[in-house]
Structure 1
């Protein structure tokens, strides 16, 4: 299954009420959205008809999330930590926006993708679905930090190890889409600061010169799931139902995590 076909299925499976995309390029993935959306890219060149209520932000993702109210287009969106510093409750005057579905396909270097995740997580919760693109490079050359091939994933595949090691509270699912795979992350926790606290440590370990030592499990896709199996899994509808009624993390996350782990065992 090609990545855009999978993304189309993901919009349907998640029944998402809003959408954030980092890395717009020509807008092909953005054409799949039918809900209020934000798309961020410093040099987008949209050539396709967009069929959603969208705010196109011409900015780097770092600059975008540094704005005072980056998710204003999605109704609300004040940064919870900034609200608290100003003495305002994140559930008070400005209601906090929670992202249902986010797609990270920006700069193909792991540190950019990591910062994108950290920023997105601030506006996510246990029922949010965060997707990374280009997570299964097909060769060491394709995974280089210094691009020298036509098709290029860069070293964003490192997010698999980084998240699994430093954030075992999350559930990550590698998906065998064509051409270069994707990673879905479940269980976001905006209160968790581990990645921010360890960012310098992570950079010191994972920022290494080419050629990159890509794990065989990544190159051979041995830990990835079939996209159609994932889209047809039974946990999507209960997840959306619990999300829509505002189930708290202690109530909603444990059953979703069990369902995800059962899916991984039985696939």
Structure 2
């Protein structure tokens, strides 16, 4: 299954109520959205018809997330909660708009992908689905930081190891989409600051000159699952129901994590 076919199915099974995309390019992936969306790219050149309510942001993702209320387009960024407990006034109860589905496909350099993930996670939660593109380069040349091939992933594949190493609380699933695979992240925690706190340490260790030492397991897609297996899994209905009902992390994440274990990259 090609990446856009997989993304189309992911939009369906996740029943996402909003969508954020980093790296618009010509807009092919953005055309799949049918919900309020934000799309960020400093040099987009959209040539496809967009059939949804979208805020196209011509800026770097770093600059976008530095704004005071970056998700303002999605229901105003914040909205009041109705407190269902008797005798309590809803005034003063607020919840940040949470991203249901995010697609990170910006600069093909590890440090940019890491910052994008850190920023996206701030506006996500356990029921969010975060997709990172180009996680499975087919050769060392394709994974180079200094681009010298037509098809190019850069060294963003390092996100696989970094998330498994520094964020074992998350569940990551590698997906064998064509041409260069994707990593799906579940269990986001907007209160976790480990990656931000250790950013300089991580960059010092992982940003190295070419040629990159791409693990054989990545090149051979050892732990990547078939995209049909992921989108056909049985947990999606429970995930979307709990998410839409506002079920908290303490109740919602444990059963989802258990259902994901057979697919996880750490298995």
TM over 0.5: yes
Equivalenced residue count is 254
Confirm whether residue 226 of structure 1 aligns to residue 226 of structure 2.
Answer: yes
Task: Name the counterpart of 1:30.
Answer: 30
Q: Any idea what SS the aligned residue of 2:21 has? A: strand
Residue pairs, 1:162-241, within 5 angstroms: 162-241=162-241
What displacement does 1:206 show?
0.2
Instruction: Give the secondary-structure state (helix, strand or coil) at the position aligned to 2:151.
Output: coil
Distance 2:208 2:134 in 1: 19
Could you say what secondary structure the match of 1:73 adopts? coil
Preserved contact between residue 173 and residue 263 of structure 2 (Cα < 8 Å): no
Q: Find the counterpart in structure 2 of residue 242 from structure 1.
A: 242
Aligned match of 2:39: 39
CA shift digits 1:28-65 (9 cap, x unpaired): 00000000000000000000000110000000000000
- Aligned-partner Cα distance in 2 for 1:193–1:92: 26
Aligned alpha-carbon RMSD (Å):
1.5
Q: TM-score scaled by structure 1? A: 0.93
- What's the CA shift for 1:4? 0.1
State the distance in 2 between where 1:205 and 1:131 align. 24
Q: Which residue of 2 aligns with 1:82?
A: none
Is there any run of 5+ residues in structure 2 with no aligned partner, and where? 79-90
* Matched ranges for 1:1-267 at <5 A: 1-77=1-77, 92=92, 95-264=95-264
Alpha-carbon offset, residue 75 of structure 1: 1.4
Where 2:10 maps in the other structure, the secondary structure is helix
Change (3 A) 1:6 1:30: same
CA distance in 2, matches of 1:191, 1:69: 17
Residue aligned with 2:183, SS: strand
Distance in 2 separating the partners of 1:92 and 1:159: 38
Q: Is the 8 A contact 2:19 2:37 kept in 1?
A: yes
8 Å contact from structure 1 (residues 77, 94) kept in 2? no
Alpha-carbon distance in 2 for matches of 1:2, 1:92: 46
3-state SS of 1:131 partner? strand
What is the CA-CA distance between 1:77 and the residue it aligns to?
2.3
Question: How big is each residue's C-alpha offset from its partner over 1:43-102, in whole Å with a ceiling of 9 and x where there is no partner?
Answer: 000000001100000000000000111100001326xxxxxxxxxxxx947641100000
Determine helix, strand or coil for the equivalent of 1:185. Answer: strand
Superposed CA deviations along residues 98-142 of structure 1, whole A, max 9, x for unmatched, are 000000000000110000000000000000000000000000000
Render the CA deviation track for 1:200-259: whole Å, top value 9, x for unaligned: 100010010000000000000011000001110000110000000000000000000000
Q: Would the alpha carbon gap of residues 142 and 92 (structure 1) be closer, same or farther in structure 2, given more than 3 Å must change? A: farther
Q: Which runs of 5 or more structure 1 residues have no equivalent in the other structure?
A: 79-90
CA–CA distance in 2 between the matches of 1:199 and 1:92? 35
Runs of 4+ aligned structure 1 residues displaced above 3 Å come to: 91-95, 262-265
Distance 1:96 1:48 in 2: 31
Supply the distance in 1 between the matched residues of 2:264 and 2:49 (Cα, whole angstroms): 37
Q: 2:94, 2:54 → 1: CA distance?
A: 21
